Each structure stands twice: as structure tokens, then as C-alpha cells.
Amino acid sequence: MDNSNWNKKQDSDNYQRLLDNLIDIKRNDSCLFAKVDNSDFIDLVDFLSKQDRRKISVQPTFAIYLSNDSLQKKKEKIEKALSADEIYELAEEYRTEVEKKFSKALNQDFEEAKKDVVDFFEKEIQKSAIKWKKYIRKANSINAERNIWPVHIGFCYISVKTDTKTIFAPLFFKEVNIELRQSLPILTSNGEIKVNQKLQIFLKSQELNNFELDFDFSQATIAELEEQIKYLWPDYQIPDFDDKIDKSAMNDIRNQKIIFHSGIVLGFFEPSGGYLRRSLENIINYDDPRSIIKVEFNKNVYKRNIEKAIFEDELNAFFKINHTNFSQDWAHVSAILHNTIIWGPPGTGKSQVIANILSNILIINRSALVVSQKKAALEVFKNRLGKLSLLCLFLLNDKNMDKTQFYKPMEELINYLENFQEAHPINSLEIVNQSDKTYLTLLNNIFTSNFEAAIFVYKEIRKSMPEFNEEAVVQLFKLSKDIKLNPRISPTKKSKLVQNIIESQTNKKLTFFQKLTLSKQRVAWHDADIILTHLSKYDGELGNILPHLDRLKPEDIFNIHSFLTFKKEAKQQVNTPEEIFQWQVKKIYNKLNDYIQDNFTTYKKFAKEIRTKTRDPYKFFLKYSEVIKVIYSVIITTPSTDLSMYEKEEFNYAIIDEASQMFLEEALPILYLAQIKVFAGDKEQMQPTRWFASSYGEYIEDEDETLNISSILDHAVSEGVYQNLLDKNYRSQHAALMTFNSKEFYNSQLDIINQFGSKFLNCIEVFNLDGAWINGQNLVEADFVIKKTLENLNKYNKIILLTFNAQQQKTIEDIIFKEYPELDEAITQEKVLVKNLENIQGDEADLLIISVAYDKNTGWHSTYVSKKGGKNALNVATSRAREKIVVVKSVKSEDIQSGAQSEDIAVFKRWLNFLDLTHEEQINYASQEDKKLNFITNSQDKFLDFKQEIIQVISKKIADIQIVNNYSIGTIKFDFALFKKQKMVLGIIVDNLQYYGDILKYSKFFDMVKFIEFKGFPLCVINFLEWKLQPVKVLDKIQELIYAKNNL
């Protein structure tokens, strides 16, 4: 086989792998085997009367009370039972428990014991409300994590045994919801019928009938579909769908030919949507997936483009609505210009940047597709955008959102459009303005001259000339350099002044004869003219400065004076959402006005349906996609949304949020629709995981060996897309909460500092228990963390109770459900979240309580933290807290043996070590000795004593002040901090002005200053020139700040 044929085959195999991945068949996938367990998968025959089951079959929409009809009938029959054996028979799945609890009593006093059995079943019936509450909570959790709705009724079961797998699964689904109304569970549905695509594809792979239908059955009722397929497939014996499922058949499947079964089962199913697969298939067949993301070889091209946009005014349309730092603005500009990765850990402001990018896209009349699998992330965008969210169409798969919530913002927007009058133009913003550039130009001019001489001369001039006069300075440079006199006390008669000038130059008195020839001293007469005309008020010895002027120009003195008197102009930091909204409404109004000239009838129907709010949101989206394209230039949705009405690169931008959590194959159809691709996420957080089927039978963990890639963020990084790190953490109030993460995962490039005034000595609290890790749970820790959660319930607005494995989470949830109603209600209200390592990503809280659960006897090879990606899960887990972390553990770092351990378990061991450090050591964990805030790049003598000189003067001049050198507030250190009565009253940053000539360093320096101020620290920046030239003024400023900032 030649190379070209080999490459084609390899590509074909790779692409087929991507297509197969979109089927997303998981280990024990319920779409291939759905075993009724009356927990996650419930036979509705047991819960509904025949009449209610009939409603489900014949009505396209319904709302039915889940009464647990089977338990009720059991109870009623047991009340009439005549023997213990009859009771055991009637108890069915409860038989073992009934025999264990009541057999002795039934043999002693049958009638009394029978009452106890009846009471037992009555309690079981009452427990069903709790059971449904847990069921609903699980469904909502899956919905929040994956933006899919998992609860369906499965029907038309088939079974078959193949060489690779045993199948027992429904061929069709109907999406349903469960609501609690006055504590009563109600089963509702207005969903379409959909086919089990995973089952179809598996059957096709086994060369079996995959039961494809060539007509649209989505709007049919279950009864109508049943009638149709019995007619279409006469070769099969198809029983009634709504009869009880045959559990014996389910447990003993040997048939190698397909058999149909009765059964209508409520359960958690995730049938694959067909849009992504069809879309990717079209791209593979008619285009080249490898060309979707284009990159430059020379990455300096990107950097230079951004620099030109920011520093050389080549971007004249920069808009934003959220306050951001320099790294965020840099990423924003990068995203507007070209393909971009915006990455950083939680709390660094990715959502603010995306909201700013969207506001910018709106105002420059571009379009964007924004996609995330996390429902919570999309809700964050809505909140960040404020009123601008009305200009974006949100398509979310959220069962808690009714039609009114979908249509309400649309109605509000069309009301604005139909009543629009006028909007005012808005101003573009500047990241670096002319004032910044002037400041740097002055500095550059100063430091590229003989600035030590200039400083000396300027100080002498200012002492001698209270009112600075540029003309006087120019004239000073015209004087002879050997004059030694004070003009202020010199003779005002010109001849006498000439005599004084000459005598000062020669250092001796003139003779009588010399005085007679004064008229011949033309230079001296010229000097006298200058002094009398321009320097008569100069009260200083000219001999101190004139010898230095040979090395200077007047401009050198002017530059220093201009620098000292220069006041930076305040920049407009943000645009208001209201002004952008009004301007964008004007543009939409104009476009819509043109559209309705020929399409007024369509618009009227569109507006009417918005106001009546009756049509299913997605059906509305499909029907009116043409009008939607006119009105909405930003679509915010999930990967599975059918966007087939859009063509290749129809959007200007595609923005993928949580890109580290989205599979490559899910993202490619989205990216295909846009010209510029923006990826937001964190390559150090968890990657998506999938259990995939090799030939749909043998399951192994998917590491995507063929493509060596899993997430779209990984793919973008490997393709060489330009990366932008957001380098400041705003979430954590205390540096110690994130310094471990900064060092271990972000190469100490992430800045984290304390929130000034917060009490942070116990921000990480560790409890070492003597718990045992048994069968994936630690009951001692479970009990302790529950009590800790209850203890802190009213102290924090939100708490996450996090476990390191799913079984410990389930144990904790079960205990809470049974014994702690107050915590159970807090979970319902989402004040408390119970999570594990696998589903914590995207959540945050004020207090994080961790149950590690492992003990010294744990087999580490089987734990989540030791597997590939375990360290990323640890990074996610330990970066959730805003105020405090409580760690409860039964293991110490020394319990993990060093040696042939994975890097993942090694990071976990280092985290355990970190927990044992002192608070000060934790704060300084990510500090770098060579990382200086003042950007010192050399050791020039002129700067060496600057800091020490300031300390000495402050010590002498300001009473009752203690000075702490190199005071750490996290990853940043003040050059020194001032304390009064053990309270920090001012942080001092010594600005050596070493960023002169480098506008990027200048921007980063003052960005860091802004970050410190954002965190609330009282701060004074002392720059080298101000201190050298105006030390008294600087000292006064320090004292004013001490008293003003601390109310002293």
C-alpha cells in the first residue's frame, strides 16, 4: 500500500472513530441494557393504574400523579391475607425484608403482626415522596453538568444476545419530567418521541435489523406509533407496550434473534442526538476537518497584531461592559483579531472576558455562536451581559425553564424594536491612551539623557527659582559655565555685575586698569544681560549648576519638570450595557425594517407566537430561523442544538466555553460554522472522559489513542492556536486557598493575594481522623463532614461538601436524606451542594468541606487521584472556595510510599504535605524570588540604595511606625509594609521606573498595582524620580494615606 493510500485509510479510520464517539455508548449504557431496579429504572405498571397508563399512550401531553399503585395494592391484599406464607408471596421484592423483620411475630400472633406488616408498607408508600425527591435531584444534577435532560419513558423493548453484548433496551423514548406539587410527584410530558439511536447503530454493527423508519413519528402518540410498527413489522410478535415488563425474561436473555417485549419504563436514558453526527459526517464527506482551525507558524505575528491594536491605535472599536485587567483585555483583543485560547483557572474572569467580547461583537456588527455544555456557564453569561442578554438568543435544555422564561426576553426585545426612537453614538475605549504614552515618552527622554546630572540641576533650579520658568532655564544654558555668583544678591547695575562675573570666574579682584577695559569683555556683558533680564530672581549659586550644563540640554530639565507636573488622564473603563443596547437596537431596527418590507406577514406571525408563548422553543427556533438571523447576531446554546440552518463560516465567531470539557468531535461542527474560533477553558482542569465500545462490546477507558486527543482545548493547543493566560485570581479571598494550585499547575504565573481585612489565619482547616476506607466509603469522615456542614450552615451563603469518590458522596447523601432534614432542604435550595471529584467542575462556594475518605491501607492504584488526570481533578477540587476550605482526612502524606508512583499521586502527596505547612508557608508556597513587582532588570548603582533610603527616612520622620521588609500578601510582596499597633496601615511599592521604553512592562506594572487596590489594600507607589526630587512631598503623601485609609 503506497503512502497516499495509507494516509487516506488512516484518516478514514480516525474520522470513523470521531463519528462513533458521537454515539457516546458508555459502560453499562441504559440505551443498550436497561434493567428495571425500581430505583433509577421503574416499571410504570407498578406505579400507575391502567387508566393512567392509557393516558400516557394516547395523549401527546399529560400530567399524571405517580401514586405507587403497586405498593398500594400490596398493602390492600396483605390486609386480607390469611397466612404468613400468603404475606410473603404478596410481598414480592420486599419478601426478604418482611421475613427477616416479621416472621417470628407472624408465627406467634398472626393478626397483630399482620398490622405491623401493613404499617411497614404504609411507611414505604410515604417514603416514595423522598424517593422522588432524590430522583428529581439526580436528574437536575445531570442536566446541570451535561446540559441534557436524562429522564425518559422507554418503551417497545427488544432483546437479543450477540457475541459482543446482551441487549435489553427500549427502541423508543418519550422525554418526561417529574415535579413535586405539594409533595406529590407528578409525571409530565410535552416531549416528542425519539428513537434509540445507540441501539440502532449497535444493531446495524451486528448486521441485525436496526428498525429504521422512513416517516416522522416524533409528533405521534405512543399508541399511534405502536399501531404503526405492528403493521410495518408483521414478522415480529410485538406485545402491547404498556403491559408489565417480564423480569424473568430480562434476567435470562439467550435469544440470538430479536424478540420484542412489553414494558413502559421510567428511567435515566441519554439517547444520542443525531444533529452533531450528521453535521460531522457532512464535513468529513464534503470538506476537510483538519482545515477548520487555521494557525500561523510564526506566533509573533499574533503578538505583534495585538500590540499594534493596543499600543498603536490600530483597533478603533474596543468596547466592554465589565471591568477587567490587562491580561483580560489582551485576551479580549486577541479574540477579536484571530483564533485564540483564553485559559486560566477558576476565578480569573473568563466569563467577564467572554461577556466583553460579546458586547464588542455586537457593537461592531458581527455575529457569534457561543456554546457550553454547562448550563450554569451559560446562565453566568446571561448575568454578566445584563441588559445585553436581550440581544442574544439563549437556547438551553432546561426542564426547570418553562416557555414563559424562553419567550419573555424575546417579547421584551420586540417591544423595544417596535417602539424604537433614537440612540446616541458611543465612544470606543482605550486600553493604553495618549496620556500613558506621553508619560512613557517623558520617562524615556529622562533616562536616555544624563539623568543624574539633570536631577541634580533641576533640584538646584527649583530651590533657587520657586516659580519654574522655561525661558529662564534656556538662558541658564547660554551663560558661561565658570560663573560663580547668586543673581538674587548680585548688583543690579550692569557694569558692576560684569565686574562681579569676571571676578567670580578668575577668583580674584579686578585691578584698576582691568576695570577700565571692562567694555571689551563682551561675553561677560552678554552674561550680565541674561542675568538681569531673565535671572534676577534666581536665588542660588550659579556655580553649583553651570558646570553640569555642558552634559545637558534645556529639554532634559523640561522633561523632568513635565514629568513631575504631569497628571495622567483618567480613562473611561467600561461602556454601559444600556448605551450598547440602545445602539445595537438601532442597528437591528434598521435591518428589521428592511426585512419586513417584503416579509411583513412572516414577522407578524413571529411576533404573535412570541406573545402567545405556546410553541415549543426549539420548534419556534426552527420555524422562524430566517427572522431570528435578522434580529439575533449572537446565539448562546449547547453542543447538541440543531444548527443546520447555518452554513459554513456563517458566524464571524465561535466561542466555546469550558473547552477542556468538550470532546473534539462535539466541537468540530460548531467551529465549522465560524470564521474566528475562541476557546475558553483551563488545560490544567479535568478533561472529558468517555467509556467507549470497541466493536460495541469490549469497553476500555477512552484515551483517544488514534488521535491522541480528547478535548477540543487539547486539540486547539496541539494545533498551535495562540494562547492567553488570565493571570490573576479574584475568587479566593485568601492567597493560601490557591497558592498550591498556582505552583503545581500554573508554574507560579497565577497571582493570588489576600483580601485586605479578611481574617485568614484559619482559611485552611485540617482535621485528621481515624476513619477507615471500606468499600469505597469512610463512615467516620461522612459523619464528621455532615456535622461540620450543619455547624456552618448559617455562617456561609453557599457550601460545597466534596468527596474524592462517588460512593462517599452517595453515602453522605443517604445519611442526610434519612437523618438531617435541615441539610436536605439546604440541598434542595442549592445552598449546599454535595459533589465528588468527577462532577465538581464549574461549581464554587464560600466554604468548601472536603472528605478525602482514603486511609493508609488504600490501594492507590484504584483511586481516582492516582489515575491519569487525577492531578487535574485535584486542581479542580481544591480551587472551589472563596473564603475557606475544611479538609477532613484519614490519611497522611507519609502513608503514600514514594517510588514508582504516577505523577498524579505524587501531586496528591504534595497536597497532603501542603496541608501540614504553617499559614505563612502556605501563603508563600508559590512565591518566586526572582519575580519582582518593580521589574528590576539590572543592578545600576543609582537604584541600589533607593529602597533603603526610603525606609531610613520613614523611620525617622513618622512616629510609632513599624516597618516590615518584603511583606508577603500572597504571590506578591510589598517592598515594605507599615504597621501601627500591629495593624498594617500601608503597603509601599518602590517604583524604579525600569519599565521606561517598554509600554508592555509599564502596562503590566500598573495592572498589578490595580489588582492590589482591587483587593482593598491601602497602597502607596513611590517612584524613583518623585522621591529624589520631592521627598518631603512624598513623605506628606504617605502620612496622609496612613491617616485617611485607616481613619486615624
For residues 601 and 530, membership in a common domain is answered with no
- Across 31-40, 149-158, 947-956, the highest mean pLDDT is recorded for 149-158
- Please give the pLDDT value at position 689: 66
Which residue type is seen at 356? N
Question: Once rounded to an integer, what is the mean pLDDT over residues 467-493?
Answer: 94
Cβ atoms of 62 and 44 within 8 Å: the answer is no
Strands 698-701, 691-694: pairing is antiparallel
Cα 760 from Cα 883, distance rounded (Å): 8
Tell me if 240 is assigned to some domain.
yes
For residues 903 and 982, membership in a common domain is answered with no
Q: pLDDT tens digits, residue range 872-918?
A: 999 999 999 999 999 999 999 999 886 657 889 999 999 999 999 99
Run of H or E residues at 593: helix 577-612
Cα 912 from Cα 225, distance rounded (Å): 59
Tell me if 412 is assigned to some domain.
no
Tell me if 288 is assigned to some domain.
no
Question: Once rounded to an integer, what is the mean pLDDT over residues 833-837?
Answer: 93
* Number of domains within the chain: 5
Which residue type is seen at 759? K
Question: Once rounded to an integer, what is the mean pLDDT over residues 107-122?
Answer: 87
Q: pLDDT tens digits, residue range 855-864?
A: 999 988 888 8
For residues 885 and 1033, membership in a common domain is answered with no
| pLDDT of residue 992 exceeding 70 | yes
- The 3-state DSSP class for residue 511 equals coil
CATH number at residue 335: 3.40.50.300
List, in sequence order, the alpha helices (H) in 747-841.
Answer: 779-792, 806-819, 821-828
C-beta atoms surrounding 1015 within 10 Å = 22
For residues 709 and 675, membership in a common domain is answered with yes
Give the pLDDT band of residue 20 (cuts 50, 70, 90). Answer: confident
Longest dimension (CA), the chain: 152
Cα 689 from Cα 701, distance rounded (Å): 8
Q: pLDDT tens digits, residue range 683-739?
A: 998 887 654 433 343 333 334 443 456 799 999 999 999 999 999 999 999 999 999
- Please give the pLDDT value at position 927: 77
- Please give the pLDDT value at position 607: 96
For residues 46 and 194, membership in a common domain is answered with yes
pLDDT > 70 in the chain, percent: 93
Cα 299 from Cα 306, distance rounded (Å): 11
- Please give the pLDDT value at position 746: 92
For residues 544 and 606, membership in a common domain is answered with no
Cβ atoms of 23 and 198 within 8 Å: the answer is yes
- Please give the pLDDT value at position 459: 93
- Please give the pLDDT value at position 9: 53
Question: Once rounded to an integer, what is the mean pLDDT over residues 1003-1029?
Answer: 94
The DSSP 8-state label assigned to residue 33 in this structure reads B
pTM: 0.84
For residues 977 and 1034, membership in a common domain is answered with yes
For residues 120 and 226, membership in a common domain is answered with yes
Cβ atoms of 360 and 388 within 8 Å: the answer is no
Domain endpoint, select from 544, 565, 586: 565
Domain endpoint, select from 891, 922, 953: 922
| pLDDT of residue 941 exceeding 60 | no
CB within 8 A of 435, min separation 6: which ones? 568, 569, 571
- Across 438-447, 615-624, 704-713, the highest mean pLDDT is recorded for 438-447
| pLDDT of residue 943 exceeding 80 | no
Q: pLDDT tens digits, residue range 402-433?
A: 688 899 999 999 999 999 988 888 999 999 99
- Please give the pLDDT value at position 962: 93
Question: Once rounded to an integer, what is the mean pLDDT over residues 10-18?
Answer: 74
- Please give the pLDDT value at position 929: 54
Is 845 exposed, middle or buried, given 0-12, 13-18 or 19+ CB atoms closer than 10 A? buried
Which residue type is seen at 167? I
**Of the listed ranges 510-519, 679-688, 690-699, 1000-1009, the one predicted with least confidence:** 690-699
- Please give the pLDDT value at position 760: 65
Cβ atoms of 357 and 678 within 8 Å: the answer is yes
For residues 152 and 36, membership in a common domain is answered with yes
CATH number at residue 945: 3.40.960.10
- Please give the pLDDT value at position 397: 66
Give the pLDDT band of residue 938 (cuts 50, 70, 90). Answer: very low
- Please give the pLDDT value at position 457: 95
Cα 594 from Cα 126, distance rounded (Å): 62
For residues 805 and 903, membership in a common domain is answered with yes
- Please give the pLDDT value at position 869: 86
| pLDDT of residue 949 exceeding 50 | yes
Whole domain around residue 835: which residue ranges?
735-922
CA atoms within 13 A on the CB side of 293: 26
For residues 471 and 585, membership in a common domain is answered with no
Tell me if 301 is assigned to some domain.
no
Q: pLDDT tens digits, residue range 235-290?
A: 999 999 988 888 888 888 999 999 999 999 999 998 876 788 889 989 998 888 88
Cα 322 from Cα 340, distance rounded (Å): 20
The strands making up 764-768's β-sheet, listed across from edge to edge, are: 764-768, 881-890, 845-855, 799-803, 832-836
For residues 1024 and 902, membership in a common domain is answered with no
Cβ atoms of 687 and 872 within 8 Å: the answer is yes
Tell me if 16 is assigned to some domain.
no
- The 3-state DSSP class for residue 874 equals helix
Domain endpoint, select from 677, 702, 725: 725
Strands 722-725, 340-343: pairing is parallel
Cβ atoms of 258 and 158 within 8 Å: the answer is yes
Tell me if 419 is assigned to some domain.
no
Tell me if 669 is assigned to some domain.
yes
Q: Rounded mean pLDDT of the chain? A: 88
- Please give the pLDDT value at position 707: 47
- Please give the pLDDT value at position 705: 40
Tell me if 293 is assigned to some domain.
no
Run of H or E residues at 222: helix 222-232
Question: Once rounded to an integer, what is the mean pLDDT over residues 748-769?
Answer: 89
The strands making up 392-395's β-sheet, listed across from edge to edge, are: 392-395, 634-637, 368-371, 651-656, 674-681, 340-343, 722-725
